Amino acid sequence: DKVVDIWYKYLSELNQAKPIAAPVDAGLPDASSPVKKDDEQLTEENLSEGRTQLELIFDHRRRLLGNGHIATGEVQYTLGLFEYFLLGNDTRAEAFILSAVNAYELQLGATHPSTKHVHMLLQLVQQSISDKAAATSKPIELN
């Protein structure tokens, strides 16, 4: 599907532009702050429409092909990228990407470069979740 391809390419560019493992307090974008190119600002309407289109494609592929099919995994991965980079929703991103990893492993094997790539992003999302949990559980020092 062209819709999935277009969103995947756009989101992959955001992934490449985003500094990975940047400290939250370094003033650099972190996983919770959506990264956007200055010349390509997306409106709330664009985001809503894009998410709806991807979810419809996901439902369609899941019904026709099943959860373990690589095409279903592809749209799950794209939805995970969408949730993570554009909406800052780490937990939804993790669920989509985890399902995608399972499909990729089933269809391509654990050592395939595409599977490794999807797994790497899953680790990035999980690290972001872990970092946020640690940041909120730090005791406040009183002087």
Rounded to two decimals, what is the model's pTM? Answer: 0.79
CA distance 81 to 86: 8
Q: What is the pLDDT of residues 20-66, one digit of tens each?
A: 433 333 233 344 444 444 446 788 998 999 999 999 999 999 999 99
Q: Tell me if 40 sits within 8 A of 23, measured CB to CB.
A: no
| Lowest-pLDDT range of 41-50, 64-73, 88-97, 131-140 | 131-140
pLDDT of residue 21: 37
Q: Tell me if 92 sits within 8 A of 22, measured CB to CB.
A: no
pLDDT of residue 36: 45
Q: What is the dihedral of CA 26, 27, 31, 35, to 10 degrees?
A: -140
Interacting residues of 132 by C-beta distance below 8 A, sequence separation 6+: 32, 90
Please, what is the average pLDDT of the chain? 83
pLDDT of residue 40: 60
Helix intervals (H) in the chain:
2-17, 44-65, 70-81, 90-108, 113-137
Q: Tell me if 72 sits within 8 A of 58, measured CB to CB.
A: yes
Q: Per-residue pLDDT for 131 more than 60?
A: yes
